[in-house]
């Protein structure tokens, strides 16, 4: 059993070595200054929204787009009502969007819907009509300056951009807060730090844009894995694109609050990470050594060590405990080692959550006591990824829509306590 304890320590050491640089990321926003941006151009944008039975929330998104400070004549909204059985398409049309209805129960998922929408736009217009394309989910709500802020960074030469991801329902419960705090941390202490360090940022599901150059290269949309955002990110990092970040472009989206729904969503994410690892892992490793790309290393850390080491550790420890019980050997050292690992993980996740909560407290729209409480539950939320990651390795996972019910305007979000 001493061997298992040593293996656990070695795994912990690998974790530290792999992710120590992300501790430095926490310091970066306080020691580096933003680089000056170029004079913004009057770019024309197409907004792409894939919506499946989103009649309860899509109006708030479309209204927030219509309320942008960026010139409305330079923004066209396109909605693909994807396999809808409700009146999503009707509501979108009433709000002034260009609506396409798609019915395909074989090719299911956001990637297929985006490909369909981009091809329809390409058929209607030439490739020069739009300078850039935004991608939003139907449950999103935008800050009034969102497109204006994105355009400032876009005008400085970035072909792909992501934004600050905030939450519509942070204070609902420990699950919605867990998601929200992770995305706030990702915005402030991953993507913002990457931007300041002049390395590539990462797309996170929604609230991103790409240039017409990227659209031409893709000839539609070619990313269909379960985590199409990570696939899109990794593919472009491998091809030496630098994804930018606009810190003042704020987007709000709805987080799951039911544990069953959360497990289903994160199971898809975990499976998607495995898919990206299988399809792009070798190219990322090649980029690290051949191109000496720190961005490739950074993206590799996002999809490789945590999952692999977690599964390896779980298998080793479970096997050791079973063998020990069957052979009447004390498993106390293994149990102590496992508990020590969980304590270390809790402290690490709590520290990350607490730092993020303190720095972003004015942007977290819930009561003070909930902000404090959910820093303590955040590590528990993150540790529930362990069984999810393990099961996702063996389980067949398919894309399924997430039900959205938070029909909130920006004023509603900011008045939440």
Which domains, ranges and CATH numbers included, belong to the chain?
Answer: 2-28+278-394 (no CATH), 43-257 (3.90.550.10)
Distance CA 365, CA 388 (A): 29
Residue 200 has pLDDT above 80, yes or no: yes
> What percent of the chain lies above the pLDDT cut of 90?
73
Helix axes 385-394, 305-326, angle to 10 degrees: 90
> What percent of the chain lies above the pLDDT cut of 70?
98
Q: In this structure, are residues 302 and 194 in contact, taking their beta carbons and an 8 Å threshold?
A: no
State the pLDDT confidence band at 64, using cuts at 50, 70 and 90.
very high
Q: In this structure, are residues 221 and 111 in contact, taking their beta carbons and an 8 Å threshold?
A: yes
Rounded to the nearest 10 degrees, how much is the dihedral formed by the CA atoms of 383, 357, 197, 300? 10
> Which residue, among 164, 150, 270, 258, has the nearest Cα to 211 in the 3D structure?
150
Helices (H), 51-131: 58-66, 88-94, 110-124
CA distances from 225 to 208, 217, 241, 272 (A): 18, 19, 20, 6
> Which residue, among 217, 396, 200, has the nearest Cα to 302 in the 3D structure?
200
- Give just the sign of the alpha carbon dihedral 282, 288, 293, 296: positive
Distance CA 362, CA 360 (A): 6
Q: In this structure, are residues 254 and 169 in contact, taking their beta carbons and an 8 Å threshold?
A: yes
Q: Tokens in use for 181?
A: 């705090």
State the pLDDT confidence band at 17, using cuts at 50, 70 and 90.
confident
Provide the strand spans (E) within 323-385.
none
- Per residue in 330-356, pLDDT (tens digit) is 777 777 777 877 888 899 999 999 999
State the pLDDT confidence band at 1, using cuts at 50, 70 and 90.
low
State the pLDDT confidence band at 416, using cuts at 50, 70 and 90.
low
In this prediction, residue 417 carries a pLDDT of 60
* Residue 108, C-beta contacts closer than 8 angstroms, at least 6 positions apart: 83, 398, 399
341, containing H or E segment: helix 332-359
State the pLDDT confidence band at 177, using cuts at 50, 70 and 90.
very high
Mean pLDDT is lowest, of 85-94, 99-108, 230-239, 404-413, for: 404-413
Distance CA 20, CA 16 (A): 5
Average pLDDT over every residue of 353-365: 97
Please state the pTM of the whole predicted model: 0.93
State the pLDDT confidence band at 174, using cuts at 50, 70 and 90.
very high
In this prediction, residue 13 carries a pLDDT of 84
Question: What is the pLDDT of the chain when averaged over all its residues?
Answer: 91
Mean pLDDT is lowest, of 119-123, 166-170, 239-243, 317-321, for: 317-321
Residue 133 has pLDDT above 90, yes or no: yes
User: In this structure, what are the phi and psi dihedrals at residue 242, rounded to the nearest 5 degrees?
Assistant: -110, 110
User: Residue 98, Cβ neighbours under 10 Å: how many?
Assistant: 17
Q: In this structure, are residues 178 and 377 in contact, taking their beta carbons and an 8 Å threshold?
A: yes
Helices (H), 85-211: 88-94, 110-124, 146-154, 174-186, 192-196
In this prediction, residue 344 carries a pLDDT of 86
């Amino acid at each position: 059993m001493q061997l298992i304890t040593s293996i656990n320590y070695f795994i912990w050491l690998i974790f530290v070595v792999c992710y120590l640089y992300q501790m430095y990321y926490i310091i970066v926003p306080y020691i580096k200054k933003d680089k000056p941006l170029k004079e913004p151009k009057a770019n024309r944008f197409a907004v792409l929204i894939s919506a499946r039975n989103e009649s309860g929330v899509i109006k708030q998104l479309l209204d927030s787009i219509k309320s942008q400070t960026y010139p409305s004549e330079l923004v066209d909204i396109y909605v693909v009502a994807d396999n809808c059985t409700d009146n999503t398409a009707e509501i979108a049309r009433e709000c002034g969007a260009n609506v396409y209805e798609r019915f395909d129960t074989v090719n299911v998922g956001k990637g297929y819907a985006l490909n369909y929408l981009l091809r329809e736009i390409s058929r209607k217009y030439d490739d020069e009509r739009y300078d850039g394309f935004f991608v939003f989910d139907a449950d999103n709500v935008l800050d009034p300056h969102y497109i204006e802020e994105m355009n400032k960074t876009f005008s400085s030469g970035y072909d792909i951009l992501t934004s600050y991801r905030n939450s519509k329902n942070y204070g609902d419960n420990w699950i919605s807060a867990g998601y929200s705090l992770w995305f706030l941390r990702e915005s402030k202490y991953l993507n913002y730090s990457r931007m300041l360090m002049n390395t590539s940022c990462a797309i996170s599901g929604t609230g991103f844009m790409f240039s017409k150059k990227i659209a031409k290269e893709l000839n539609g949309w070619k990313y269909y894995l379960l985590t199409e955002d990570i696939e899109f990110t990794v593919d472009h990092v491998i091809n030496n694109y630098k994804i930018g970040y606009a810190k003042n472009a704020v987007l709000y989206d709805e987080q799951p609050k039911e544990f069953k729904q959360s497990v289903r969503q994160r199971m898809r994410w975990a499976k998607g990470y495995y898919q990206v690892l299988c399809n792009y892992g070798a190219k990322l490793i090649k980029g690290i050594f051949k191109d000496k790309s720190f961005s490739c290393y950074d993206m590799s850390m996002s999809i490789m060590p945590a999952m692999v080491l977690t599964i390896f550790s779980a298998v080793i420890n479970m096997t050791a405990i079973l063998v020990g019980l069957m052979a009447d050997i004390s498993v106390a050292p293994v149990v102590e080692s496992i508990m020590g690992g969980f304590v270390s993980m809790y402290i690490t996740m709590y520290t990350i959550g607490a730092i993020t909560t303190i720095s972003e407290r004015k942007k977290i729209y819930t009561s003070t006591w909930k902000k404090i409480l959910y820093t303590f539950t955040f590590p528990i939320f993150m540790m529930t990824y362990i069984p999810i990651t393990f099961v996702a390795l063996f389980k067949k996972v398919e894309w399924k829509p997430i039900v959205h019910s938070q029909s909130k305007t920006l004023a509603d979000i900011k008045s939440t306590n």
